[in-house]
Amino acid sequence: MATFAYQSFESSSSKTHDARAIFQRMFTQKANKLATDESVEALIAPVNPAMPSEIYEGPAKKAKVEPLDQGITPTIAFLQAHIGQMFRNGYSNLGVGLSAFVCGELDVQGTDFDPMRAFPNLDAHSSAADKNCQCFTAFVRKEQAGTTKPLVSGPSYYVLEISGMTVAFVHVPNAICKSSEDASTFYSGIHAAVTQHKASGIDIVIGDTNQQQSDFTRNCLNGLKNGTFANAMSGSSVSPVDNHAYTAKGTNSGGDKMYDVCVYNTERVALDQIAYLSQSATGNTVTDHMGMMVKAHAL
């Protein structure tokens, strides 16, 4: 059994991978406006941003999500604190410490991210691409390095082996997300890359799928004829565990589209639990999409 998480951090298509590329972009501002307009309150647990996977005891503090201060200099401080909240909420809500937190649209090999490459208790693995929006960074707890490791990557996907499961973290490009043919080709390419690395196939897909219908990703994966895939969660609403009594109709910046989902191969793995984290885990909005935390085990 293992727990892991994914969240996209809105970035530009710039080839300069720095804090400015992910700082207060348009859809992040939209997510912040939605949260402040609806008076969303964050449940902020005690964490140490310098040691994100170190779990501290103590109750969460309730605080309203703050409007973005667009006059400040681009910084990674809020992002670091947000990562700490993901690890803490993973432990608190899933009962087991996260093996890995994979961040989409983030390349910590870029400038400004030295502190995030040097977390004492985490290994930072990056899947770099020319464009920021196609990059990934996986933060793996050092004690899980033997059972959680990168397998293969390409533009807009990063595959990790986690406790015997092949987990594909994705950020499906907007250019192909509406076409079942193009999306199926995208997933077929991931499957081919996985099998070339001697894995049996994709066990779990998790991430920002940009899907337009609830079964779109599931149907694309079933079309690969490599198992029977199911949605990890049904329903048309989501309640982030780090918000006080708040429910949205979707995981995107407008709170109306279920883009961020998990789909799993029922013939090879079982999903034990799934939970969502908001865009404003610390009361400061750092991205446009909610994140997901999953507990699963191989059959």
pLDDT at 121: 94
Question: Helix, strand, coil: what percent of the chain each, to 5?
Answer: 25, 30, 50
CA distance 63 to 136: 30
* Lookup: tokens for 223: 């079309």
What is each CA distance from 255 to 69, 182, 237, 250, 260, in whole angstroms? Answer: 22, 26, 9, 4, 11
| pTM of this structure | 0.96
Give the C-alpha distances (Å, rounded to integers) separating 33 from 19, 26, 255, 299. 21, 11, 11, 43
Give the Cα separation of 59 and 28 in Å (integer): 28
pLDDT at 190 over 80: yes
Within a 10 A sphere around the Cβ of 237, how many other Cβ atoms? 10
As given in the structure block, the two tokens for residue 22 are 């992910």
Model confidence over 201-229: pLDDT tens digits? 999 999 999 998 999 999 999 999 999 99
Amino acid in the structure at residue 132: N
What's the mean pLDDT in 10-14? 90
pLDDT in tens, 30-45: 999 999 999 999 999 9
What's the pLDDT at 236? 82
**Model confidence at 199, in pLDDT bands (50, 70, 90)?**
confident
Residue whose structure tokens are 């986690």: 162
pLDDT at 150 over 90: yes
Pairing of strands 204-208, 165-171: parallel
